[in-house]
Amino acid sequence: MTSATSPVTPPLIKKPKTAEMNPGPGFRIRGNSARPVPNVVAGFGEFPTPDISDIMNRLYTMTPAIRHMTPPDLKILGPACTVRVFPGDNLMVHKALDVARPGEIIVIDAGASPMNAVLGDLITTKARHRGIGGFVVDGLIRDLEGILEVGLPVFARGVTPIGPLHRGPGEINYPIQCGGIVVHPGDIVVGDANGVSIVPQEVAADVLMQLHSRRQGEREYLAAVQRGEFSNEWVDRLLTEAKCKTA
């Protein structure tokens, strides 16, 4: 029996288990992922994103909300190193600098968060020293003036002064969603003044072959249009087939 003068031990206060980070899905890093053949990647540098988007039936281009935040002449081309972060946190973005290979594009799924930035001038400066080819962020960035000085191409949803947290969780080199498109590690990222297109790694060689096959015909058609030599008979045919009513 406890006496009136004996100290009372306070109850042990524990942190809820639900707040802990668990190893596995949502908190993992994969370093070695297959990458496309370098000459296939380089081949896409000959084509603008509208051509690439068209050849893939307009289903592999990110939302225009993800736009070029740096000068439009800075183009992105390279295999994807994918990063998923908890919105507003960039711990895994920092770690991606150790995982991404030179020439790769770090593609960040920040859940389209309108709050904290997950990329700034410090990370882009470090990335330049590591040979990273650029960033695509489904979220916000900050330190835009410093990023412009670094000279790496960056696509994002916008800018905010609010900085990130560094807690985790997150994933590196697992499939993500960025700008409405599923991106796998090693998919080819092509970005220019028009936007960002993703070429799945497993079809990249075939897509490149189709682009080359169609290019001459497109050039000839454009040249004819520039000379004023064109007809809209194909439009009338489609309207007739669809039974469009004409007054």
CATH number at residue 136: 3.50.30.40
Q: Does 116 map to a domain?
A: yes
pTM: 0.90
Tell me: the pLDDT tens digits for 9-50?
777 767 777 778 888 898 999 987 789 999 999 999 999 999
Q: Please, are residues 106 and 131 in contact by the beta-carbon 8 Å criterion?
A: no
Q: Does 245 map to a domain?
A: no
Tell me: the pLDDT tens digits for 226-247?
888 889 999 999 999 999 998 8
pLDDT at residue 190 is higher than 80: yes
* Confidence (pLDDT) at 10: 73
Q: Does 6 map to a domain?
A: no
Phi, psi dihedrals of residue 195, rounded to the nearest 5°? 145, -160
Instruction: Quote the domain boundaries for residue 60.
Output: 24-227
Tell me: the pLDDT tens digits for 101-138?
999 999 999 999 999 999 999 999 999 999 999 999 99
Task: Quote the number of domains for the chain.
Answer: 1
* Confidence (pLDDT) at 3: 55
